[in-house]
Each structure stands twice: as C-alpha cells, then as structure tokens.
Copies of this chain bind each other. A is one copy, B any other.
C-alpha cells in the first residue's frame, strides 16, 4: 500500500486510502487477516493457490513468487489464485518478477463497472493488468492499467474539483456520452479501444474468476462476507529464449528509439510505461507522501480503535 501511495495520484484511489476499506472488510469477515492459504493444485508449470479469504496483496505476492520459482525451471509458469480479495496494484505484483529478472504479468477480476460493449448494465470489472519487463541497470518497464479508459476514483476527484472528463470515460446510466463526471457516476465505465477492451475484460474474467472456481462477472465483490476475487500471475524466463545480455542490449536499443521520437508537445517528452510513477516515487521517498487531513484523522481513529501507536512528525 505504501508502494501504491508512492506511485499513484490520489484520485486513482490506490494507496493509503485503501486501508479504511481493508479494515472495514476485515471487520465484516470479507477479509481474514491471518487466513490459512493452501496450494489447491500443482502441475509442472502451473499452480492454484486457495487464498482462504486472505489479503489479496499477500496471496498475489505468494502466487507471483511461486510463478517465478517454477518459471526459473520451466521457462514459463502460470499461478492462479482463488477465494482472494482486492490485490492492490497489478504493477506491484508484475514488478516482483522483473526484480527477479523475469517478465511478469499480473491480472485480476474486480467488481462490475464495465458494461458489455453496446450495453448499459455493468457485468465486467476494470480487470486491471500489470506487465513488467526487466532492464539491465535500469528500473523495469511497468505497465499498470485498468481495461477501462479511467476509473470512478479519478471521476470523483474531477467531480469534486468541478472539472469535466473526456466523453470516452463513462456513460450515464441510460448509456449516453457525457463529459460530466457526476452524471456518469451510476453509469458504466467505458473500455479501452471500444469493443477491444470489453473483449479483454471478458477474457480476463475467464482467465481468473471462471478458471479458478472463484466468483466472476457481476458477482465479484457483492457479498460483504465473501468477495471471492481471483488473480492470475504469469512469469516468463528470458533466458529460455535469448541470452540475458543480448535481451538487455536489444531492449535498450528499442527504448532509445522510443524515447527519441519527436514529441508533439516540445514540453511533453515521451515516457516509458511506469516512468511517471517512478519519478513520483523518487520525489516522495525524499519529501514524503502528501496525505490529506481527512485521511490523517481517519488513520488516527483507526489506530485508536485497534490500540496501535500513531504519531505524526511535523513537516519541516
């Protein structure tokens, strides 16, 4: 969660603010903090983890670590997780693989917010993907993305600021295009690439919820005592295909071409996926993570309730 706070814009709804939701879910039994997790199935290059309603971050990390371990032997591995919870940021889990020198893919299903293309009723989740590719001597490429153009967190943030949104983000509940984030708060989010993102979201649910025996479609995250989220992690060993040094040299050549492409806006240079997050993280590691007063008050209340020490150092 600290990683999410370091990487993300607060409007994107990840980070420390999620702690209150996790705490609420622990109280109502949807998340079991000390769940016994167990391996439900194991194959030569696959495994299935039963998270036993435990924390999604913990289960997904365990799954990716197992995928890395298997892929080091087999070249590619896929480890799925059933009966889990919100796994946080997909890019965090993908980065585990890149940090170990492998290519990592992490995906999850999520509460229904996207309608099938051409429909109004949300049936599918934003079903985010994280993909991380290691670089020699540099921070990995990290793509962390929902399969929708944007999310409700970002829309709420614009709505509070009185700002419009692009009309490609979400529809009204009746299925009309709008630039008013407030008007679309009860409507479906729009997928990336129109029907393409809808197809990707449907297939992501097939690869997570349907494949693992967890909930899927509009059922995920509906029952406060049983969120039953599913994730899928894939790790790929580069050396199964090419020498690592050659891969690194070739990837840097591609990156150099990408980064030197002439920008449309001279003040807006081309960036790699994950670069903005890394620059934000570097700044925040030095200067701190900005936290608003409401969040601070909430953290103090939560600490008091749980009997955990809480102290704020004044900003110098």
Using a CB–CB cutoff of 8 Å, the interface residues on chain A facing chain B are 41, 43-46, 48, 73-78, 80, 103, 115-121, 123-124, 131, 133, 141, 143, 145, 147, 149, 168, 171, 174-175, 192-200, 202-203, 205-207, 209-213, 216-218, 234, 236-238, 240-242, 246-247, 250-251, 253-254, 257-259, 261-265, 268-273
Contacts and interface: CB of A to CB of B under 8 A. Distances in A.
B263 A45 contact: no
A119 B242 contact: no
B273 A199 contact: yes
A203 B133 contact: yes
Number of copies: 2
Contacts of A205: 254
A262 B196 contact: no
A76 B45 contact: yes
**A-B pairs, 7 with minimum CB distance:** A192-B193, A46-B75, A175-B264, A119-B261, A199-B273, A143-B199, A45-B74
A119 B45 contact: no
12 contacts: A76-B76, A116-B261, A117-B271, A118-B264, A118-B270, A119-B261, A120-B263, A131-B200, A143-B200, A202-B254, A209-B250, A216-B253
A197 B147 CA distance: 10
Nearest to A70: B45
Contact of A211 (B192, B216, B241): B241
B145 A46 contact: no
A291 B114 CA distance: 38
A261 B121 contact: yes
Contacts of A273: 195, 198-199, 202-203
A107 to B, nearest CB: 12
A93 to B, nearest CB: 15
A39 B299 CA distance: 58
Given A120-B262, A175-B264, A217-B258, 16 more contacts: A43-B75, A44-B44, A45-B76, A46-B76, A74-B74, A116-B270, A117-B271, A123-B257, A123-B261, A192-B196, A210-B251, A212-B241, A213-B250, A216-B250, A217-B254, A217-B257
A264 to B, nearest CB: 4
Q: Counting chain B CB atoms within 10 Å of each CB, which of A193, A194, A212 scores highest?
A: A193
Nearest to A133: B206
Contacts of A78: 75-76, 236, 240
Nearest to A236: B78
Contact of A44 (B74, B194, B213, B270): B74
Contacts of A175: 264
Nearest to A75: B46
